[in-house]
Amino acid sequence: MLFQLSPDHLEIRESIHRLAQEKIKPRANDIDEAGVYPMDIKDLLAQYGYLGANIPEEYGGSGLDLLSFCLIVEEISRVCASSSQVVVVQELGTLPILIGGSEDLKRRYLPDIASGKKIAAYALTEPNAGSDVQSLQTFAKKDGNDYILSGQKIFISNGGVADFYTVFAKTEKGITAFVVDSDTPGLEIGKLEKKMGIKGSPTAQIFFEDCRVSAENIIGEEGQGWVLAMKTFDKSRPTVGAQALGIAQGALDESLSYIAEREQFGKKIGSFQGVQFMVADMATQIEAARGLVYQAAEKVNELGVEGKNPEVTKASSMAKLFASDVAMKVTIDAVQLLGGYGYTHEYSVERMMRDAKITQIYEGTNQIQRIIIAKNILAGSK
């Protein structure tokens, strides 16, 4: 590995690697087949402190930095992307509270998130507002000390299992973020999507019909939701990059095991130059992605997201973009290396290929990432 990790980071990586290989990997295929949120994995990760890894110690978490969190996500994704979603979505749903929430809001929600007692979700996307977030139609109207929330969200990870949703809606002052408890009257779960991959991570429609939400549940200030969402993505996109990186590394792991045993024409196929070239390309691409993801995480650690630093934005988008493209290419190559076996459920590379695709789409498509990167580069060249 070219990127030099500190002794603390190496220790974290080793501990989560061991847990993932011993406890999560044996469950991966069953989770994919069942297509149900793995509560046992959630409880396991909470037991070892990984569920609240990014939450400060004062709120019951482990208080780890973003690079540490990326290492955790990478090692879980290496064996089971659905299981990595347990920590990834938990982080995404709580980041707005961590970044802009009041002390009261943090005290009310973060300890239960860190302990695994509550599950979080992030509700931004709508039928007509995917990449175009400014086109949100969900609306919250002020009514005394409350807001009446109405609208629809789609493609919401943890939909139906979350205990609360970080919901973005338009108010008279602009886009505003709210914490909405799942038992709020008027909140209804729509259809669960049948997906290509990450099947153990439920994705659902959410409907809000005259949901009464206290003004105390606004995250930050009214009208600051857009900035809060963008700051959240600056911190969460390296995490998606780490997820993609882990998927790619897992596919390479499986490929190396296979080609070390498989024989054709009286030789191990790993001795063939064509196979060696594929392995060399896969490993090189993974290492390049790892460098971008780790450096982006370190940049967030160093500069933070409070001031919406353009260097953080660019680094986060680069990490997500490149690592997810690598994950897709590497997993396709892994299926090719395994031939007919790679196309069957008997080997996990086909699952990894299906799981990899979503990393190019969610938390900003890779086309959007290219726009963000270019804008920041061009703005810096003036």
Q: Which of 246, 178, 267 is nearest to 214 (CA)?
A: 178
Give CA separation, 201 vs 33, 204, 314, 315, 360, in Å: 12, 10, 28, 27, 16
Which residue in 74, 126, 222, 363 is the catalytic one?
A: 363
Q: What residue spans define the domains of the chain?
A: 7-115, 120-219, 225-380
DSSP label at residue 323: H
What global pTM score does this model have?
0.96
CATH code of the region 7-115 = 1.10.540.10
Question: 323: Cβ–Cβ under 8 A, 6 or more apart, which residues?
Answer: 240, 241, 242, 244, 245, 248, 289, 292, 293, 359
CB 215 within 8 A of CB 145: yes
Is the CATH code 1.20.140.10 the one for domain 225-380?
yes
Cα separation, 116 vs 39, whole angstroms = 10
Q: Is 222 a catalytic residue?
A: no
Q: What is the full per-residue pLDDT of the chain (382 aa) written as tens digits?
A: 667 899 999 999 999 999 999 999 999 999 999 999 999 999 999 999 999 999 999 999 999 999 999 999 999 999 999 999 999 999 999 999 999 999 999 999 999 999 999 999 999 999 999 888 889 999 999 999 999 999 999 999 999 999 999 999 999 999 999 999 999 999 999 999 999 999 999 999 999 999 999 999 999 999 999 999 999 999 999 999 999 999 999 999 999 999 999 989 999 999 999 999 999 999 999 999 999 999 999 999 998 767 678 999 999 999 999 999 999 999 999 999 999 999 999 999 999 999 999 999 999 999 999 999 999 999 876 6
Answer positive or negative: Cα dihedral of 100, 103, 109, 113.
Answer: positive
Is the CATH code 2.40.110.10 the one for domain 120-219?
yes
Cα separation, 69 vs 62, whole angstroms = 10
Cα separation, 171 vs 67, whole angstroms = 35
CB 117 within 8 A of CB 108: no
The neighbouring-strand residues paired with 214 are 146
